[in-house]
Chains A and B, each alone.
Chain A
Amino acid sequence: MDTPALFVVLALIAYGAAYLWYSRWYDRAVWAPDAGRTTPAHMLMDGVEYFPVSKYVLWGYQFKSVAALGPILGPFIAIQYGWLPALAWIIIGNFFIGWLQDYSSIMVSLRNEGRSFGPITYDFMGARGRTTLLWFIILYLLIISATFIFFIATFFNIFPGVFWATMGVLITGVIAGRLLYRLRWNVGLVTLLALIGVALSIWISTDVGIFHVVANFMGGNTILFWAIVTAVILYLGSVLPLPTFIQPINYVAFFPAFAAIVVILVSSLITPFTGIHLQQSAFKTFYPGLNPGPLWPILFVAIACGAISGWHSLVSSSSTSKQVDIETDARPVGAGAMLTEGLLALASLAAYMVLSSKATGLSSVGAWVNGAGVLANPWLGFLGKAILATFFGLVLVVYALTVQALVTRFWRLVSAELAGDGQFAVLGNKHVATIVGLVIPVAFAINGSWWNLWLYFGASNQLLAGLALMIVSIHLAKVRKDTRPSIIPATFMIVTTLAALVWEIIVFVNAVATNKPLTQVGTTFAQPGWHNVALAFNGIFVVFGLLLLYFGLRMTWSSYGAYFRMMRGERPQAAQPRPSTAAGGAGRK
């Protein structure tokens, strides 16, 4: 009874019910997919973006694209309230909202010629809605980047050998890419060599403690040092051609990342036999203090991806929907991948449940690595604790690094879209855009307290999910279908996330007003001589939060307006082309 296995099994049953019962009912009652209807993959087939793919391939692709640090690190903040509220939200949130959002995002795109959320937003809410979405996504990308760069830098700093293991994976990836694309070696052979390279990287790195050297050399600036190292890696990922750097590295990094999921899930399920027990209270408190804040709304944004995530809707509508073979494949792909990600979140929660409350304090950023080590040690202990710690540390870094490399690249493309050909065209240059997209997050990363930045990220991510559900509801209202299963969760998510944003703004305002800036211990600006700079950055975080809130509210207003217009049977607010200007106009792009 006091092992994590029971709860993972309970979640398996709940997710099974969600998939076999609720999703089937929703599918039949609302979307009514038709296997005979031509999908965009066939209708617009170009062999590049639009082409039909087996549902198994697409499931694997969708799961890999959505599973990142969110479900692994999110439960860490949530467990400050006890494990029961976190467990309940991961199960109930995913049951009623999470899979529904992912699946419906695919379906709404399928029914709109495979278009992504940008053009669909334009159709429903006009040019203003699309521009608001663009700005909201810009801020969202900045905050994702800040949190992920902070984590990578911290993991390099606190786990011996993780930096060299990561370097090993990067070098192995680049070599594998050369062998595959230039020398055209056999894929199986290259994969085998890559696996050996990754294993060697982990094995050798456990004995190489560069972080001690860096710590002695850099003093209180170690996080800054590692953040700059991370930024250099990301810069290369953004400006080099995909087949040279990101693609082969993602391929090589997939194997340890996938192995870790299997290890941690199996380790959680066999806890009754390995004798690992829960060390945390089921419920601790509703209000642990101003920071991190009350259970509602903070818990619901802290678990940033395990229960629901706006990032998934972007993935679902931008690439997956263009490759769905038949409409009935959308449910196993969208709902199936999200429910599986919920299991990953639960297994990660199990890794925190087996640690003491002290070991999961808010400053223990690497607690997951320790918890995963505790879970896996009884059956993988023969590998040695150092290797297990390096392996799990490496997994965290590759999850963050592979997603962050894509985010930095995406930032560059969005910057080019925003800068256009006007007087700020230089900001669209790939080097300038990448540097801007890295300098700001690095500055944020070494200034803010990590959980406050995480909560900004979680709130904007979950708000995006709420807005995605609004787009789904608008479409369903347009075609006269039942909108209740989507509009109720959308409203809940929007209210909760806006409340969380307001709370975090209050936390930063309080820090400025009381002259006690929120900083992360061990970072440059946490040192006494940097007090005023840290305070100034807290002020910037207030402005940043207000901007997120402003664009979130604007998007909410536009989406509810469009929803009620559709419910009244009015025509969608298809954007009226505005007169062109000398700067390029604001017409449809």
Chain B
Amino acid sequence: MPDEERKKLGFGGMLKGVMYGMASHGNVTAALRTRMYMEHLFMFITLGDMLGIPVLPPYYSLRLLPYAVPNVKSWKQRVFRERDFTDALY
């Protein structure tokens, strides 16, 4: 968060942040993770054919490719990231 934004945040903003953090932040993170796994599945189905795992016929893979390409970079980053059992805690 830029410094100016931090300074602008009054007491109300702080309180809102704390309440959001307590009540919802964990849920939001969990929802994002669920979406991440769904995206992994989508990418795997779409690109599987090109990786040598024919999940979907090439015709459909190519039709879906334009939707998959923008996410390839972040997908690669997430898939290649080191994961450990202690990461799964929260």
Contact = CB atoms under 8 A, between A and B. Distances in A.
Interface of A: 44, 46-49, 52-54, 56-65, 115-119, 133-134, 137, 241-243, 246-248, 250-251, 254-255, 258, 314-315, 317-319, 325, 406, 410, 413-414, 417, 588-589
B86 A52 contact: no
Given A65-B26, A247-B31, A116 B18 contact: no
B41 interface: no
Contacts of A52: 1
B77 A44 contact: yes
A58 B78 CA distance: 22
Given A47-B32, A47-B74, A60-B21, A247 B85 contact: no
Interface of B: 1, 9, 13-14, 17-27, 29-36, 74, 77-78, 81-90
A251 B23 contact: yes
A116 B87 contact: yes
Nearest to A329: B1
B31 A317 contact: no
A63 B22 contact: yes
B76 to A, nearest CB: 10
26 contacts: A47-B74, A48-B33, A49-B29, A49-B36, A49-B87, A54-B17, A57-B17, A58-B25, A59-B21, A60-B23, A61-B22, A61-B25, A62-B21, A64-B26, A119-B86, A134-B85, A243-B30, A254-B22, A314-B86, A315-B90, A317-B86, A318-B89, A406-B89, A413-B85, A414-B85, A417-B85
A319 B20 CA distance: 16
A430 B79 CA distance: 22
A54 B90 contact: no
B3 to A, nearest CB: 9
Contact of A242 (B30, B74, B78, B85): B30
Given A63-B22, A325-B1, A589 B34 contact: no
Contact of A57 (B18, B81, B82, B83): B18
B25 A46 contact: no
Chain B interface secondary structure, helix, strand, loop or mixed? helix
B87 A46 contact: no
A134 to B, nearest CB: 6
Contacts of B24: 251
A406 B27 CA distance: 12
A44 B81 contact: yes
Contact of A46 (B26, B77, B85, B89): B77
Interface centre among B14, B31, B83, B89 (most CB of A within 10 A): B89
Contact of B36 (A48, A65, A255, A417): A48
B22 to A, nearest CB: 4
A314 B78 contact: no
B27 A247 contact: yes
Contacts of A254: 22-23
Contact of B84 (A56, A246, A589): A589
Contacts of B88: 318, 410, 413-414
A103 to B, nearest CB: 17
Nearest to B30: A242
A318 B82 CA distance: 13
A406 B90 CA distance: 8
A60 B20 contact: yes
